[in-house]
Amino acid sequence: MESQLEPGKPSGLLVAAGILIGAGLLAGFVDGILFHEILQWHHMVTSVRPATNLSNLQANTLGDGLFHLGTWTLTVIGIVLLWRAGGRSDVPWSPKIFGGSLLLGAGLFDCIEGLIDHQILGIHHVKPGPNQLAWDIGFLTLGAILALVGWIILQNGQKKASSQA
């Protein structure tokens, strides 16, 4: 159940939509399509099942497919929330609010996925081999920067929306 919004405050639906679309579309799909498929640097479980035989390749392909299913689901939920926000008159439509939310979602996704999959579980690394820790830290750093920039843009958009109310 949604609470009544104060005048000028952005709807949580718009922010949530941006975060989920940013996570699924900007981060998840880019990661899967670029790193897994185009560059073929890694697959979802490369570190625990190197794709050196058919069975391991099938396991990695399944892992990639489940990863894509998850990112697709995040994107669809985000689009549904965006559609719902579009039907509300109390949502201030702001490129800063939505754009900041997109970057925040992408950055958070990269940080969470990087910490869990690369560091904690070690099921794959951004670019395995020499300097893999540097690649993983670079990925986490980029995620943190995206999240921070997104947060700043989002906050500025919310302040501007509040002042125009």
- pLDDT tens per residue across span 7-21: 445 478 999 999 999
Q: Does residue 152 lie within any of the structural domains?
A: yes
Given pLDDT bands bounded at 50, 70 and 90, which one contains residue 1? very low
* Torsion angle of C-alpha atoms 14, 18, 20, 22, degrees rounded to 10: 180
Segments forming the whole domain that contains residue 64 = 12-163
pLDDT attached to residue 9:
54
pLDDT attached to residue 70:
97
CA–CA distance, 15 with 33 (Å, rounded to integer): 25
Q: Does residue 6 lie within any of the structural domains?
A: no
Residue count (the chain): 165
pTM: 0.89
- pLDDT tens per residue across span 18-33: 999 999 999 999 999 9
- pLDDT tens per residue across span 78-109: 999 999 999 888 888 889 999 999 999 999 99
- Give the mean pLDDT of 28-57: 94
Question: How many structural domains compose the chain?
Answer: 1
Q: Does residue 5 lie within any of the structural domains?
A: no
- Give the mean pLDDT of 28-49: 94
Res. 4: pLDDT tops 80: no
pLDDT attached to residue 120:
96
Given pLDDT bands bounded at 50, 70 and 90, which one contains residue 6? very low
Question: Burial of 129 by CB count in 10 Å (0-12 exposed, 13-18 middle, 19+ buried)?
Answer: exposed
Given pLDDT bands bounded at 50, 70 and 90, which one contains residue 145? very high
Given pLDDT bands bounded at 50, 70 and 90, which one contains residue 162? confident
pLDDT attached to residue 165:
61
pLDDT attached to residue 90:
83
Q: Does residue 156 lie within any of the structural domains?
A: yes
Q: Does residue 125 lie within any of the structural domains?
A: yes
Mean pLDDT of the chain: 91
